[in-house]
Chain A
């Protein structure tokens, strides 16, 4: 381990940042006598061209086989110095940085003597470590080409298009029979009041027709396995029982007996948020893509009642019904995965003071969105479900299910971000359609943060929308109408507002995809959304290398932000896939097979799914494409079999042994 080494120590003055506090000459004098050190020199700016040339010159001329540069934080120039060392003929991983700036001269500005002593200790420690280092090789690994995008809402669609246009093969997997997600049913988008389908449909069609996008709908990812450079997904395509021969005439839907007045079985329409019923054979909405009808086997009389009912097959002019279709299994190998599984609306039934579920005329914003669709269940008018009459007085309640108590299982602690704008949107759409309707928005804070949002909100007041600051204490019945009790902080009055319809701005929840997340080894944040790598600085990567997240799956956001994030995720995925090969960082974990006893502990603690016990060889194997070198495994390994390169126990202990006697007391 400790053969005769030729170590060089380069001490940087950093133009005074170090040398004004640390007596660099004294440090140099203390280190030049150390065992193995053949050169100890100091310089004003090691990072300058001159400094780098100096480094290279000394390496070449003296044949150095280990270097310590005592300077600023390794985050600044470690890569650069290693590159220069390599160019000069030394293995780059035999170079270490001793941080005598941020961790010494900056931290102990006013104690120059002690800072100098500390610098001596730090340099000594690194010299000792370098003496124990081995040269390392940089390897590459192939990455499987191709990306799987899970979820075909706006985020998934946008990411798919970007990647496909960049030349990547994309498999876009969608659980429901049609793509489009929640955006398709929002009718209009704030703050521009664009028709949602008009902006979404072109993208949907582009995805549908793109030669590099393989669209797999009515399908779910059942299993996901990671191996170096590759994800293997098992996708199950549910059978529609309708073939491509379908011409879209709709006769089957018209004749299907399910959900008719006399039928014992009826299904609530997912598309219309439960406001209407649908048949067992259906097209989710007119612009659905693919334009294929689907039979919902769970509610179809043929499947549920012994195969007697075949009405759809009998009336279909194209003979497109095929009850014998089976689920199909699709095995997919991709290099990267983007999770874009979106959101669903919180069910406010548990919050009994608002009366959702108890009172027919208490609705959610997504239901109102359907009502505002001129082709929807109420042809564009917000009406009372109890009797179908148009609502003359509408009260909207914000923050339902959001901004709740920490630890409350019935509500979410977070703010759902978009509901303020949704309420403003719906309120002003209602005022524009029926100006005499009274619309009240009861809020806690009004969050109109984005571009054009404030102007949109102010404009809603010019249309006559009324804003009340205060959330209600009760929604109760008064005759045929509802009465909302609310204390208004703005007028200082306790109000009783009669309402035909009360609309709850319910929270945004992540779509439940626990099984998917488990197979991908993805974590969720405490709020239930997919956990991003870092909430502030890296919102599109996840802890699992190669898996990215975009859209509302990661957290509540509006369409604009979903698109932005999808773009970022697509770019991250593209960078990751690179030219088909990834360069592996050698400073990751490795296993000494002789010591490993396959106890599984390293596998249990690894957050990056980077170490697995091979069941046949009974040895832990590190996937160097995923390991981040965090060292958690090394802490729990009972035998010391697993260690992180350049941070092995002997190396660390040697360093500490060298430093300990010199320790500076505070």
Chain B
């Protein structure tokens, strides 16, 4: 039986009091209702914490602190900032294995979507929010994804430099994404639709 080897770091992302205590008080008792009212979070109430989701997760095997079951439990208990400030909220790869396997059809993967939506709405920052905002901006401006633009907006020039020779290699093969955006001819229609969609219930 193989066991994931990296040591678990329970302290990651948690805030200690002045005396070092990591005990928390559930401060947002209606947070679960907020999530239940967000697209993707509708079924959060019926999660029984069986752990099938985490057991199916390809990320948890490599990064044990990313625990989707635990994330759902933290939402249900009312630990709002604990969840929305957690950088690991953005580590989910959207593989939908948890969604496929959950015996109660809670859709944990879609709860992550709902949480990210709330986090973005609250103005949370970090590499995750940055990427999501870059993507949305590209859709708004072009109707489609301008890969190069989204990449630079997401990881910045420093991030690009960290890619090393990859960019060069891709350039040489003609694989590098187009530097110029190509907005749809009907971009105005797309923008009008996006604006109108905001009024939907």
Contact = CB atoms under 8 A, between A and B. Distances in A.
Nearest to B73: A490
Contacts of A458: 45-46, 48, 104
Interface string B98-137: 0000001000000000000000000000000000000000
Given A458-B46, A461-B45, A461-B46, A491 B25 contact: no
A373 interface: no
The 4 A-B pairs of least Cβ separation, nearest first, read A490-B73, A462-B45, A491-B73, A491-B74
Contacts of B23: 485, 493-496
Interface residues of A, number: 21
B53 to A, nearest CB: 13
Interface in A426-483: 438, 457-458, 461-462, 464, 466-469
A496 B17 CA distance: 13
B46 A490 contact: no
Contacts of A406: none
Contacts of A457: 48
Interface in B1-44: 10, 14, 22-26, 29, 32-33
Contact of B33 (A464, A494, A495, A497): A464
A488 interface: yes
A497 B78 CA distance: 11
A492 B77 CA distance: 11
Contacts of A466: 26, 29, 76-78
B70 interface: yes
SS class of chain A's interface: helix, strand, loop or mixed? strand
Nearest to A460: B45
A438 B47 CA distance: 18
A475 to B, nearest CB: 15
Contact of B74 (A438, A467, A493): A493
Contacts of B22: 493-494
B73 A488 contact: yes
B69 interface: yes
B63 interface: no
Chain B's interface size range is 20 to 34
B120 to A, nearest CB: 23
Contacts of B33: 464
Given A466-B29, A491-B70, A495-B24, 6 more contacts: A458-B46, A488-B73, A490-B49, A492-B10, A493-B79, A495-B25
Nearest to B70: A492
Nearest to B44: A461
Nearest to B75: A491
B84 to A, nearest CB: 14
Given A458-B46, A462-B46, A469-B49, A490 B69 contact: yes
A464 B35 CA distance: 13
A491 B26 CA distance: 11
Nearest to B36: A462
A328 to B, nearest CB: 56
A177 interface: no
A495 B32 contact: no
Most buried by B among A462, A467, A490, A497: A490
A490 B33 CA distance: 19
Given A458-B46, A461-B46, A466-B76, A496 B29 contact: no
Contacts of B10: 492
Contacts of A468: 77
A485 B67 CA distance: 23
A468 B24 CA distance: 14
A474 to B, nearest CB: 12
Interface in B80-95: 82
A494 B24 CA distance: 6
A498 interface: yes
16 contacts: A438-B29, A457-B48, A458-B48, A458-B104, A461-B48, A464-B32, A466-B29, A466-B77, A468-B77, A488-B73, A492-B67, A493-B24, A493-B74, A493-B77, A494-B24, A495-B25
Interface in A487-510: 488, 490-498
B77 A491 contact: yes
A491 B54 CA distance: 13
Nearest to A393: B29
Contacts of A496: 23-25
A490 to B, nearest CB: 4
Contacts of A488: 73, 77
A120 B132 CA distance: 87
Interface string B43-64: 0011111000000000000000
A497 B46 contact: no
B138 to A, nearest CB: 36
Contacts of A464: 32-33, 45
A276 to B, nearest CB: 31
Given A466-B76, A492-B67, A497 B49 contact: no
A491 B79 contact: yes
A469 B51 CA distance: 13
Contact of B70 (A461, A462, A490, A494): A490
Contacts of B46: 458, 461-462
A462 B106 CA distance: 12
Determine which residue in A457, A461, A493 has the highest number of CB atoms from chain B within 10 A of its CB, and name it: A493
B103 to A, nearest CB: 11
A17 B67 CA distance: 58
A469 B69 CA distance: 13
Given A458-B46, A464-B33, A497 B26 contact: yes
